[in-house]
């Protein structure tokens, strides 16, 4: 498991709603009926895969360097604000 994810999972995924909907669609046969309509997007995805569009190098070129510390920025900002507020309170208390 990766420590940092590219995207945060949605609440539907976390709660299992997405998985339940997939099971119902498969059981009712909706996936088999809709398969011909997914032919063209599947072909486009296959061509991109063959060209290397999803390779790590191409992804790096498209998206830039990964920023795994995005959540750490919020923690650091909160800690610095807390220290600043605490420092101001300590300076106000001293004579």
Q: Summarize pLDDT for 45-67 with one digit per residue, the tens.
A: 999 999 999 998 998 888 877 66
Domain residue limits at 60: 11-93
Residue 86 forms part of a structural domain:
yes
Residue 38 forms part of a structural domain:
yes
Residue 31 forms part of a structural domain:
yes
Q: What total number of domains does the chain contain? A: 1
Residue 39 has pLDDT above 90, yes or no: yes
Residue 1 forms part of a structural domain:
no
Tokens encoding 28 = 């009712």
Residue 45 forms part of a structural domain:
yes
Residue 6 forms part of a structural domain:
no
Label each residue of 53-80 as H, E or C: CCCHHHHHHHHCCCCCCHHHHHHHHHHH
Average pLDDT over residues 79-93: 75
């Amino acid at each position: 498991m990766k420590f940092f994810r590219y995207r945060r999972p949605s609440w539907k995924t976390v709660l299992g709603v997405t998985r339940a909907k997939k099971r119902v669609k498969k059981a009712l046969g909706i996936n088999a009926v809709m398969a011909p309509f997914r032919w063209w997007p599947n072909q486009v995805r296959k061509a991109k895969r063959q060209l290397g569009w999803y390779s790590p190098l191409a992804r790096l070129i498209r998206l830039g360097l990964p920023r795994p510390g995005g959540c750490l920025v919020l923690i650091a900002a909160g800690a610095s604000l807390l220290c600043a507020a605490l420092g101001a309170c300590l300076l106000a208390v001293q004579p």
